[in-house]
Amino acid sequence: MKIKRKVKGRRISKGTVFINVVFSIVFFFVFFLFLIVPKVHLTGNGVITVNVNSKYQDQGIKIDSFKELKNVKAIDNVDTSRLGTYKVEYIYKDSFFKYYLQRKVRVEDLEAPVITLKGNKKEYYCPNKEYEELGYIAYDNVDGDITELVKVFKNRDKIVYEIKDSSNNKSTVIRKIVAKDQENPTMVLNGDSTIFIPLNGNYEEDGVSVFDNCDNNIEKSLKTISNIDNTKIGDYKITYKVKDSGNNKASITRNIKVRKNLEPNTIYLTFDDGPRDGVTDKILDVLKEKEVKATFFVTNNGSDDLIKRIVSEGHSIGIHTASHRYDVIYSSVDNYFNDLEIVRKRIYNLTGIDTNLIRFPGGSSNTISKKYSEGIMSILVKEVLNKGYQYYDWNVDSGDASFAKDKMKLYNNVINSLSHDKYNVILMHDTKVVTMESLSSIIDYASSNGYRFDVLTAEIMPIGQKLNN
């Protein structure tokens, strides 16, 4: 027997079907958009702060998609030289969509002003005085010089300097101050640092000037130490010493040189500018024959054998500069000594004598040096003495480099200039033939008239003329 069962079913309305269809279509459309529509957003923050006057580097936008980011337009009006808030706008467009993005850029003063102290961050001052402010400068990258806005607060052992600019950026600098005398006294010699006095002559003390930053009566501590013996030829020193209340010390030394005076009734034959082959050797022959010694101020000219012969035959040798070029040696102090050193080394290498005798080309009274350096002779006459040299001018000019063109004129000029009552330092040149030709007669006249001959040495007082530059 078959039994029939009736099954009840749920009927779906047409409206429901329609809604489901629409929902499915929308879902798939959104899903499709999600797949094909890219995500475009800013790189970095939406608000960026940069320092005024710095360089703004835009970070741009980026896309989260397989697509390549193209056709991006950026509108940028950022001016970092001016404070303010600026906008950077980006427009991106692809085949289907167009995007607008925006970033804010704030240009602000982020830099603190700078306080620069005059002096040091640690300063010492006299215990018996008030600290005196050395000063300061305050500068800001936007406001410029704002020194007048600095606030100063003084404490017992420090000074605080504070400044705030218009953007409220602050700076603080501290200077440490210590009540302690750290500075040595200063000493200056009165008169020259090198002084020549004649054998058995008197030395007149010029003294020193002493200054101290804290002690007003520093002169009371001055002590003088001297080893001068004016009865003996030699080099001596006077040392001056002081000490202030802070136990800071200073000293300075003066050189004292005791020398023989040039002697009256004595002839000192001196020859400049040589040696010259063919002339100097003939002059040396005459001197050897007459058994007379002379002084030669040599240059870098002539043969080495003549330099050696001058010394080996007992003559005195000195330096007359290497080049004898006024435009070189008198253009500067350094140039003079560099040129002088060339001849000094030549003499030493050839003879073993480290001479300190010099003669200035043109003499110490020359005026041609003024053409190349104003006042250089006034400097050089002191510098050569400080460096241990002794310079010798003359008081009898033979005229062989100027007006005495023949041997009789040269002879007469020399013998008429001689005096028994004074020393006679005769200027000649062993580069002149006329000098060679007249020398024998001059020596004969001097010998027959009671004159004696001698040479210049380091034991004899320097002889100088009146300075004209």
pLDDT in tens, 38-50: 678 888 898 999 9
Residue type, 342: I
Chain centroid, CA 174 distance in Å: 31
| Nearest-angstrom CA–CA distance, 107 and 85 | 6
Does the reported pTM lie above 0.75?
Answer: no
Chain centroid, CA 31 distance in Å: 80
Mean pLDDT of the chain: 91
Helix (H) or strand (E) holding 103: strand 98-108
Sheet holding 98-108, edge to edge: 47-51, 98-108, 84-93, 72-76
Q: What is the helix, strand, coil percentage profile of the chain, to 5?
A: 25, 30, 45
| Nearest-angstrom CA–CA distance, 179 and 297 | 59
CB neighbour class for 163 (10 Å; exposed up to 12, middle 13-18, buried from 19): buried
Q: Write out pLDDT tens, residues 145-155.
A: 999 999 999 98
Whole-number pLDDT of residue 426: 98
| Nearest-angstrom CA–CA distance, 331 and 451 | 40
Whole-number pLDDT of residue 37: 59
Mean pLDDT of 147-169: 94
pLDDT above 90 for 21:
no
In terms of phi and psi (left: phi > 0; alpha: psi -120 to 50; beta: otherwise), the region of 278 is: left
Tokens, residue 105 = 């850029």
Residue 393 has, within 13 A of its CA and on its CB side, a CA count of 12
Mean pLDDT of 392-411: 94
Residue located via tokens 């200027």: 427
Whole-number pLDDT of residue 150: 96
Q: Please, what are the domains in the chain?
A: 39-108 (2.60.40.10), 114-179 (2.60.40.10), 186-259 (2.60.40.10), 266-453 (3.20.20.370)
